[in-house]
Amino acid sequence: MASLTRLEAATRSALLRVREYHVELDLTTGEKSFRSITKISFDAAEPGATTFLDLKPATLLEASLNGRPLDVDALEDGRLPLADLAAVNDLVVVADMAYSRESQGLHRYVDPADGRVYVYGSVFLDHAPRIFACFDQPDLKAPFTFALTVPEDWAVLGTGAATRLAPGRWEVVQTVAQSTYLTTVVAGPYVAFETVHDGVPLGVHCRASVAEALEADIKEIFEVTGQCLDEFHRLFGVRYPFGRFDQVFAPEFSYLSLDHPGCVLIKELYLFRTPAPRSEHETRAVVIAHGLSLMWWAGLVTNRWWDDLWLGQAFADYMAHRVPSEVTEFTGPLTTFSARRKGQAYVADQRPSTHPVWIDGPDAMTALLDLDRISYFKGSSALRQLANHIGDDKLREGLRTFFARHAYGTASYADFNAALSEAVGHDLGDWADKWLGSANVTTLAPEFTVEDGKIASFAVVQTAPESHPVLRPHTIDIGLYGERHETVRVTVDGARTELPELVGRDAPRFLLLNENDLTYAKIRYDAASQAVLPEVLPTLAPINRAMVWASLLQGVLDGAVPAAYHLDLVARMLAVETELSIVIEVLEQARIDVADRFLDPALRPAALAKVADAARARLAAVEPGDELGLALCRGLIEFATDVAELRGWLDGTPPPAGLELDADLAWRARYRLAVLGALSEAEIDAAYEADPSTHTEQFAIKSRAARPDAAAKEAAWRSITTDASLSSYHLWSLAEGFWQPEQRELTEPYVERFFREIPEVARLRGDKVLDTLVLWLYPRYAGTPETLKLAGELFARDDLPLPLSRRGADLTDDLRRAVEARRA
């Protein structure tokens, strides 16, 4: 499909003013497709002009403009030409649209637990034309009415007030003008939980088969939603602008959340069917706050073009970690951000596809691919740095001016910068150019001398890679740890910043640049601090421990910290760490990144056993009911090499720390046993048949693909590469299970097959699904020069789909780092 360009959008925006949409959807016409009838009223500034309509149907049945039939065969590449426009126009389009299994358009899901059917509209970024005909660009906002025909036992929700007109007939009216990509409808036998907070009706919805899990947590969800709602009212100076606020746990959802005004879709990952550690509840609070903040950042004020989409998402991520930590029971989001998400930004920012935080995409597809961990997590980090740079009061004043000035309209980053600069009293353009307009990450390192136990000189040196030489100003805290702990806030700028305010202070035993993790930069340690780091690390505040772990992981990826040293620290950490999010994040990084990719494969079995032993030893001391036990037990499974231990749990031996082997832990153990060749396909099938659900289905698929059996590998590969009917979840589960570091010899023939076959596989999938598929299917454990050669040959081609070429080039750069680190 053609990707809308900025020039095309500007031309169409200057020509058209959309008055309203009326969309009729009949969801009773079959299992493969639904009927869509769209009526659009719009004005044209130049009568007689020509434009085009966005439409991606299974079958276009008929279309008329001002009563004049249009040639349906003129539809090409998702565009229907509209010629000889009148000053005032009425357009009618009748089409059959295909249901999606990839969260692209109207997604249809059949619950394996009870056979009930659920649908929801997933229209981000350019999938609205898969549901209704439209002018699909963010600045052509209009009111919407959706009229739906559905089975009589279904309920309907959407971005507007939903009313049941008769059995099986519903209407959703969105009176506030909105962008096409911010509309949705949700329909099915969803179970609803409702309350009212500060005059705002709140609803939370899910499938009937998982309603018990939602009911157990509904009080917490409503409480977090209400607390964040109050804080956003206070910060933004504008009350919640869309009447009702619904949150829907969407099955088989390809995104963490999609945040339509008044109706947010959330991945069912955050609906806990089995006991989950509080860190996962905390993450759900972050997701709720993120979606709620976008009611202002996208719904109230919408980006004019996709190049400013980053602004709302970066601010939503910043607010999502800040607000829950300040107003809810969950105080650790900033620590979790430092431990994991910020590190993901550092990795992405050093790959070949690095780009500035702000997006300069010439078309919608480029903008979508640039909306990544840099836009979210580096953007979030930059905004946190900005808040520390100008102060919270000025930030809040600028936000209130921005929302008041552009409410219910569209705006650009220039509009936001103008509001913020007014609040600060000077233009922030130079700061923005360096932080938001330049790519990659700089490195900060201390240089100091000591005389007679006192600091005699002190400077911070900032370096940048030759490819991206821009240096940034940083407001940071410097922690001095000795007999007493001192924190000094400073601003560093340029290649070298002398800091006379530290001269004369006691020489620290350990020095920490960027204490409290206020800025976005790689941090290096002086030799003395590096030497005592293992001893000092457990004594630091949680956010500083998180930051140090993130910097250690970055050191492994840079080849500056040996993987074996990192894993040794992880084993030592497990004996003492109390912060749940750090245990969970560091264990995951240690296994997936360090042990599986960067460690010499010959050292891997002993390293896994050492970490597993440390987890087992800590578990022996954990009291029943301590949620740390669950995190440690999950980590033990991931690092397990003892088949008998996991088998024993499945056969009735109680897990440690008084834990119950619930469905989630049991499937984690089965998956690990499958990888180790100790679980048969018959056992996988029997376990799934005993508890059929989306969650268990994914584990079963993944486990089948993970078995070290040639026939199982070939079957998985054939399904991945040839079966276009698979849902995105089924596809991703197969790909996730396929490659295992324990099975390098077995899967070695598929390395060459990946690079030979993936271009054809790419033709079967949409861009979002393809991007994630490549992430899982790339042979990430085949860290050899031969693999790099194959990758170089493929990704040098200029005929590959953009998601494949970009993701593939990035993963190849990751693999190159692993090869070089192992060699070193």
Tell me where in the chain the CATH 2.60.40 domain(s) lie: 443-519+521-530
DSSP 795-821: HT-SSS-HHHHHHHHHHHHHHHHHHHH
- State the Cα–Cα distance between residues 109 and 119, nearest whole angstrom: 6
- For residue 514, the cross-strand partners are none
| Mean pLDDT for the stretch of residues 788-815 | 94
In this predicted structure, the answer to whether residue 533 has a pLDDT above a threshold of 70 is: yes
Give percent of the chain above pLDDT 70.
100
Give CATH for domain 443-519+521-530: 2.60.40
Q: Please, what sign has the CA dihedral across residues 325, 331, 335, 340?
A: negative
Q: What DSSP string describes 588-622?
A: HHIIIIIIIIIS-GGGHHHHHHHHHHHHHHHHHHP
Residue reference for tokens 């997936």: 592
* Mean pLDDT of the region 461-477: 97
Q: Is the pLDDT of residue 788 over 90?
A: yes
Residue 725, token pair as written in the block: 């009917």
Q: pLDDT grade, residue 370 (50/70/90)? A: confident
Paired strand residues for 452: none
| CATH fit for domain 303-428, picks 1.10.390.10, 3.90.226.10, 3.40.50.620, 1.25.40.10 | 1.10.390.10
- pLDDT 10s digits, 114-147: 999 999 999 988 999 999 999 999 999 999 999 9
Q: Is the pLDDT of residue 802 over 90?
A: no
Confidence of residue 367 (pLDDT cuts 50, 70, 90): confident
The pLDDT-based confidence of 364 (bands split at 50, 70, 90) is confident
pLDDT at 363: 87
Q: What are phi and psi of 407, to 5 degrees?
A: -55, 135
**What are the tens digits of pLDDT across the range 260-313?**
999 999 999 999 998 899 999 999 999 999 999 999 999 999 999 988 899 999
pLDDT recorded at residue 1: 60
pLDDT surpassing 90 at residue 454? yes
Q: What is the mean pLDDT of residues 758-776?
A: 90
Cβ(581)–Cβ(546) under 8 Å? yes
Q: For residue 629, how many C-alpha atoms fall within 13 Å in the half-sphere facing its CB? A: 17
Quote the CA–CA distance of 156 and 31 in Å, as a whole number: 18
How many percent of the chain have pLDDT more than 90? 93
Query: In the Cβ-directed half-sphere of 241, how many Cα atoms lie within 13 Å?
Result: 26
Which DSSP letter does residue 295 get?
I
Is 92's pLDDT higher than 70? yes
3 falls in which pLDDT band (50, 70, 90)?
confident
pLDDT at 702 over 90: yes
Q: State the pLDDT confidence band at 767, using cuts at 50, 70 and 90.
A: confident
Residue 480 above 70 pLDDT?
yes
Q: Examine the pLDDT at 361 and tell me if it is beyond 80.
A: no
Average pLDDT, the chain: 95
Estimate the crossing angle of helix 744-762 against helix 710-722, to 10 degrees.
10
Q: HEC states along 222-281?
A: HHHHHHHHHHHHHHHCCCCCCCCEEEEEECCCCCCEEEECCEEEEEHHHCCCCCCCHHHH
Q: Which residue has the tokens 């240690």?
A: 590
Range(s) for CATH 1.10.390.10 in the chain? 303-428
**Ranges 129-138, 167-176, 448-457, 800-809: which has the least confidence:** 800-809
Q: Which two tokens stand for residue 273?
A: 């069917």
Question: Alpha helices of 4-122 — where are they, by DSSP H?
Answer: 6-15
Q: Is the pTM of this model over 0.85?
A: yes
